[in-house]
A and B are shown apart, each in its own frame.
Chain A
Amino acid sequence: MTQLIKARKGIITPEVERLAKIEGLTSDELCEKVASGRVVILKNKNHKNGLGIAVGEGLRTKVNANIGTSPDCVDFSDELHKINVAVAAGADAIMELSIGGDVDAFHHKVIDQFTLPIGSVPTYQTGMESIEKYGSVVDMTAEDMFEMIERQAKRGIDFMAIHSALNMSIIDRLKNQGRVMDIVSRGGSFITGWMFHNEQDNPLYTQFDRVLEICKKYDVTLSIGDAIRPGCLEDSLDRAQVQGLIVAGELVQRSLAAGVQVMVEGPGHVPLDQIPATILLQKQLCHHVPYYILGNLVTDIAPGYDHITGAIGATTAAIAGADFICYVTPAEHLRLPTAEDVHAGVIATRIATHAADLVTGVKGAREWDLEMARARKVLDWDKQIELSIDPPTARRIRGERNEEGAEACSMCGGFCAVKLVNEYLGTTGGSC
Chain B
Amino acid sequence: MSTLMEIAQKGQEIPLFTLVAKNEQMKVELLMERVANGRIVIPYNTHHKPQKPQGFGLGLSTKVSASIGLDADEDLLSDELFKVDEAMRAGTSAIMDLSTAGNMDEARRAIIKRVPLPLGTLPIYQAFAEAVRTKGSALALEPEDFFKVMERQAADGVDFMALHSALHTGLLETAKEDQRVLNLVSRGGSLLMGWMLYHNKENFLYTMFDRILEIAKKYEVTLSLADGMRPGAGADSLCRSQVEELAVLGKLVKRSRQAGVQIMIKGPGHTPPNQIAATVQLQKQVCEGAPYFVFGPVSTDVAPGYDEITAAIGGAMASAAGADILCYVTPAEHIAYPNAQDVYRGVVASRIAAHVGDLAKGYPGAADWDRQMSQARREQNVEAQKTFALDQDRLGDFHASEKPFCKKCEKGCAMAVAGEYFKELPWEC
Contact = CB atoms under 8 A, between A and B. Distances in A.
A315 B183 contact: no
A335 B198 CA distance: 60
Contacts of A348: 306, 309
Interface in A292-308: 298-305, 307-308
B371 interface: yes
Interface in B300-320: 300-306, 308-310, 312-313, 316-317, 320
Contact of B375 (A180, A398, A418): A180
A413 B425 CA distance: 61
B305 A393 contact: yes
Contacts of B235: 366, 369-370, 373
Interface in B350-391: 352-353, 355-357, 359-360, 367, 369-371, 373-375, 377-378, 385, 388-391
Contacts of A421: 183-184, 190, 193-194
B362 to A, nearest CB: 9
Contacts of A128: 412
Contact of A184 (B304, B320, B349, B414): B414
Q: A interface, by DSSP: helix, strand, loop or mixed?
A: helix
Contacts of B367: 233-234
Contact of A355 (B125, B193, B300, B397): B300
Interface in A379-418: 384-385, 387-390, 393-394, 396-398, 400-402, 409-418
B349 to A, nearest CB: 6
A45 B182 CA distance: 49
Contacts of A420: 184, 190-191, 193-194
Nearest to B235: A370
Interface stretch (A79-87, A192-200, A204-212): A192-200
Given A192-B421, A335-B406, A300 B414 contact: no
Contact of B374 (A233, A309, A319, A376): A233
Contact of B320 (A180, A273, A336, A347): A273
B309 A413 contact: no
Given A308-B349, A352-B313, A425-B183, A413 B335 contact: no
Interface stretch (A13-21, A65-73, A103-111, A252-260): A65-73
Contacts of B375: 180
B334 A411 contact: yes
B30 interface: no
A285 interface: no
A373 B234 contact: yes
A151 interface: no
Nearest to B339: A401
B394 interface: yes
A424 B304 contact: no
A193 B417 contact: yes
A103 to B, nearest CB: 13
A254 B304 CA distance: 45
B410 A413 contact: no
B161 to A, nearest CB: 18
B185 interface: yes
Given A193-B420, A272-B359, A300 B373 contact: yes
B360 A271 contact: yes
Contact of A425 (B100, B197, B410): B197
B185 A182 contact: no
Interface in B100-134: 100-101, 125, 128, 132
Contact of B409 (A186, A196, A352): A186
A375 to B, nearest CB: 9
Interface string B390-424: 11001101110010001111111111011111101
Given A308-B312, A358-B273, A424-B197, A372 B301 contact: yes
B28 interface: no
Nearest to B393: A304
B411 A71 contact: yes
A56 B197 CA distance: 52
Between A235, A377, A423, the greatest number of chain B beta carbons within 10 A of the residue's beta carbon is seen for A377
B250 interface: no
A217 B183 CA distance: 58
A417 B336 contact: no
A309 B194 contact: no
Q: B interface, by DSSP: helix, strand, loop or mixed?
A: helix
A390 B189 CA distance: 31
A333 B385 CA distance: 10
Contacts of B182: 373, 376-377, 418
Contact of B373 (A189, A192, A301, A377): A301
A351 B303 contact: yes
Nearest to B367: A233
Contacts of B303: 347, 351, 354, 388-390
Q: How large is the interface on B (under 10, 10 to 19, 20 to 34, 35 or more residues)?
A: 35 or more
Given A99-B411, A315-B299, A351-B310, A373 B377 contact: no
A369 B176 CA distance: 22
B233 interface: yes
A124 interface: yes
Given A184-B414, A384-B304, A312 B398 contact: no
B233 A301 contact: no
B82 interface: no
Contact of B336 (A182, A192, A402): A402
A389 B304 CA distance: 7
Interface string A294-338: 000011111111011101100110010000000000010111100
B377 A333 contact: yes
Nearest to B348: A305
Contacts of B313: 311-312, 315, 351-352, 355
A185 interface: yes
A99 B417 CA distance: 15
A233 B336 contact: no
A428 B360 contact: no
Contact of A401 (B306, B333, B336, B407): B336
Contacts of A298: 316, 356, 359
A248 interface: no
Contact of A427 (B176, B353, B412): B176
B78 interface: no
Interface in B170-192: 175-176, 179, 181-187, 189-191
A287 to B, nearest CB: 26
Contacts of A410: 71-72, 336-337
Between A175, A307, A397, A410, the greatest number of chain B beta carbons within 10 A of the residue's beta carbon is seen for A397
Contacts of A393: 305-306
Interface string B250-280: 0000000000000000000010111000000
B194 A423 contact: yes
7 contacts: A127-B412, A183-B422, A193-B418, A301-B388, A305-B352, A397-B331, A415-B187
- Sorted nearest first, the 3 A-B pairs with minimum C-beta distance are A373-B233, A232-B374, A189-B418
Interface of A: 70-73, 99-100, 124, 127-128, 131, 137, 175, 178, 180-186, 188-190, 192-193, 196-197, 231-235, 271-273, 298-305, 307-309, 311-312, 315-316, 319, 331, 333-336, 347-348, 351-352, 354-356, 358-359, 366, 368-370, 372-374, 376-377, 384-385, 387-390, 393-394, 396-398, 400-402, 409-418, 420-425, 427-428
Given A303-B385, A409-B337, A417-B187, 19 more contacts: A175-B425, A180-B378, A183-B422, A301-B389, A302-B355, A304-B395, A331-B408, A335-B406, A348-B306, A374-B181, A376-B334, A398-B335, A400-B336, A410-B336, A411-B332, A411-B333, A413-B72, A418-B185, A428-B183
